Amino acid sequence: MRLFKIRPFGPEWLFVVVLIVCLVPNLLLWHTEEIPFVYGAAGVLLPLGVYWLLMSISGHIGRSVLWMVIVMFLSAFEIVLLDLYGNSVIGVDMWLNVVTSNSNEIGELLGNLLPVIALVCLLYLPPISAGVFAVVRKWRLSDGFLRRNRLAGCAVGVCGALFMACGMVQGSYVSPRYYMFPVNALDNARQAVVRYVKTSRYADTSGDFSYGAVGTHEGGLKEIYLLVVGETSRASNWELFGYERPTNPSLRSHDGLVAFPRTMSESNTTHKSVPLLLSPLTASDFGDSIYHIKGIATAFKEAGFRTAFLSNQERNGSFIDYFGEEADYAVFIKERNDDRSLRDEALLDCLDEVLADGGDRLLVIMHTYGSHFNYRERYPREFARFLPDDATEARPDNRERLINAYDNSILYTSDLLARAMSRLEGDSIAAAMLYTSDHGEDIYDDRRGLFLHASPRPSARQLHVPYILWTSRRYADLYPHAVSAAEANAGKRVSSSESFFHTALDLAGIKCDAFDSLCSVANAAYREPERRYLNDHNRGVALEESGLKDPDFDYMDSKGL
Ligand SMILES: [Zn+2]
């Protein structure tokens, strides 16, 4: 057993430690991804064989360790994600989230991530430091040690390859791109770069796009359409959708409101869900089409509307920015005020400015910060109705406080919408407001202990979103068919991603080739959608293939989704 005869804290010891720590994510993923035995064994043995061979190429152990820093970095990132979401390899969206999340969002999450960050530091910093030490002290592995370990690495790698071959013979071929860490994580990083580059060329690829949209409503009356895109609001905490707490008192009393309780989003990620809402694309055709299309503001502009995009989120280089900037007036209020903690009600001041500027036909898109974690930062103290709401750390045993804070944020959003609607009411204005959220949220709701959103695998609560339509009295007088159609469709299943664009155009009487009356909840022709989910590789898949589990389908059954 000379192979394992190692001096404590010497070069051979470092060799073994690096092999072990690099293999931790593979072992964890085997468990969390529920990978069948042969693929799981291949997913551990093949990378181990390759690492083993790489480490035995040169006697300069320090240099070998420093080369392995790439694997150790990926491993650390993977372990942090597994701790946060409980499953899945680093996906394309996760790589993009690293680029598109702002420092505030990361900062607010940091407190929760500290224990696992400390753990990965403890796991990976000592071997990396020892590698640097080995370079400085010129540690060498003997030729005999290297020879024996090359053979051992080969043997382990061959075993891994045999397991993979067995898996391929036994069943359908499963590509290492999908189950073998770090091949899958690196391939997802490659796809993220491709997507990032394509997105940066958006101005060129969409330059010629036109909806050819025309307005059909008769002139002579002031028309205002307000589209509110919420953030991280889940339907199950809305009183309007059956929640037992009074989280929507200001909406409950409003006339002209129609709620659609059976609504799901086709994405759980902001940077994909919002563009789905603001364009005619769905999960099925999002893929490459997104690079060649423009947003809803362009359709309204072509139909003769003045358009405004008001956002309480920060720019993130995604299509949200691009679609927003298509509006005649686009403002990201956090930039204007240089205040990163600005609450959503600051958007109402902006709305007032836009309304005061006049114009007969107006589209306003408001992108709120809604109920994004950290929940208690999203509302002023006078909205702290559900107490205590002071959980500083997201842990399952803090759930009651987290839910209190979350409910307060819904209460605040509800009040914000009521205040926006009251600005649009008036005898001389035909106005309508459409509200939904980009996605929902998990807050330690079942034994899985899921938290947040944008997880690589969605959950039902991340996809069940509020969806409401409000029309002013004047609008209802002029277009009663739209109001009665919406009321008739209220009990039907809705995809927010599919219907938001078409419903907005329909309400405003805008026609174009992209418009589909079958997708508008304000149209008698409305038909229920086929449920789809836009997955990490930008493919629209059936919910059964999306990663939803039994508790999710149970939840969906209980809500009639
Ligand atoms: Zn979001």
CA of 374 to the centre of ligand 1 (A): 13
Query: Is the sign of the CA dihedral 171, 175, 181, 185 positive or negative?
Result: negative
pLDDT of residue 105: 66
Q: Which amino acid is at 281?
A: L
Among 163, 198, 233, identify where a domain stops. Answer: 198
Asked whether residue 3 carries a pLDDT value surpassing 70, the answer given is no
50 with 187, same domain?
A: yes
305 with 440, same domain?
A: yes
Arithmetic mean of pLDDT, 359-385: 95
156 with 258, same domain?
A: no
Percentage of residues in the chain with pLDDT exceeding 70? 96
Arithmetic mean of pLDDT, 170-183: 76
Out of 69-83, 424-438, 448-462, 492-506, the most confident range is: 492-506
123-155 pLDDT tens trace: 999 999 999 999 999 999 999 999 999 999 999
184 with 229, same domain?
A: no
140 with 24, same domain?
A: yes
119 with 240, same domain?
A: no
CA of 162 to the centre of ligand 1 (A): 43
Domain presence at residue 143: yes
177 with 317, same domain?
A: no
CA of 47 to the centre of ligand 1 (A): 35
238 with 349, same domain?
A: yes
CA distance 229 to 416: 12
Domain presence at residue 230: yes
Please name the helix (run of DSSP H) or strand (run of DSSP E) that holds residue 60, with its range, or none.
none
107 with 234, same domain?
A: no
CA distance 99 to 366: 23
Domain presence at residue 148: yes
CA of 269 to the centre of ligand 1 (A): 6
> How many Cβ atoms from other residues are within 10 Å of residue 173's Cβ?
8
Arithmetic mean of pLDDT, 342-363: 93
Domain count, the chain: 2
CA of 371 to the centre of ligand 1 (A): 9
CA of 181 to the centre of ligand 1 (A): 28
CA of 312 to the centre of ligand 1 (A): 12
Domain presence at residue 23: yes
Enclosing domain of residue 169? 2-198
Domain presence at residue 127: yes
pLDDT of residue 1: 46
CA of 348 to the centre of ligand 1 (A): 20
CA of 270 to the centre of ligand 1 (A): 4
Asked whether residue 261 carries a pLDDT value surpassing 50, the answer given is yes
Arithmetic mean of pLDDT, 100-125: 80
312-338 pLDDT tens trace: 999 888 899 999 999 999 999 988 877
Contact at 8 Å (CB) between 450 and 459?
yes
Which DSSP string do the residues of 278-297 spell out, in sequence order?
A: TSS--TTTHHHHGGG---HH
Domain presence at residue 205: no
280 with 194, same domain?
A: no
CA of 340 to the centre of ligand 1 (A): 17
pLDDT of residue 102: 64
CATH number at residue 449: 3.40.720.10
CA of 68 to the centre of ligand 1 (A): 35
End-to-end Cα separation, the chain, in angstroms: 61
pLDDT of residue 94: 86
CA of 438 to the centre of ligand 1 (A): 5
Q: Which amino acid is at 424?
A: L
CA of 311 to the centre of ligand 1 (A): 13
CA of 231 to the centre of ligand 1 (A): 5
120 with 232, same domain?
A: no
Domain presence at residue 217: no
Domain presence at residue 371: yes
Helices (H), 282-385: 286-289, 296-302, 319-325, 333-337, 346-356
**Confidence class of residue 220 from pLDDT cuts 50, 70 and 90?**
confident
Arithmetic mean of pLDDT, 112-120: 89
Q: For the chain, give the mean pLDDT.
A: 92
162 with 292, same domain?
A: no
**Confidence class of residue 2 from pLDDT cuts 50, 70 and 90?**
low
CA distance 11 to 55: 11
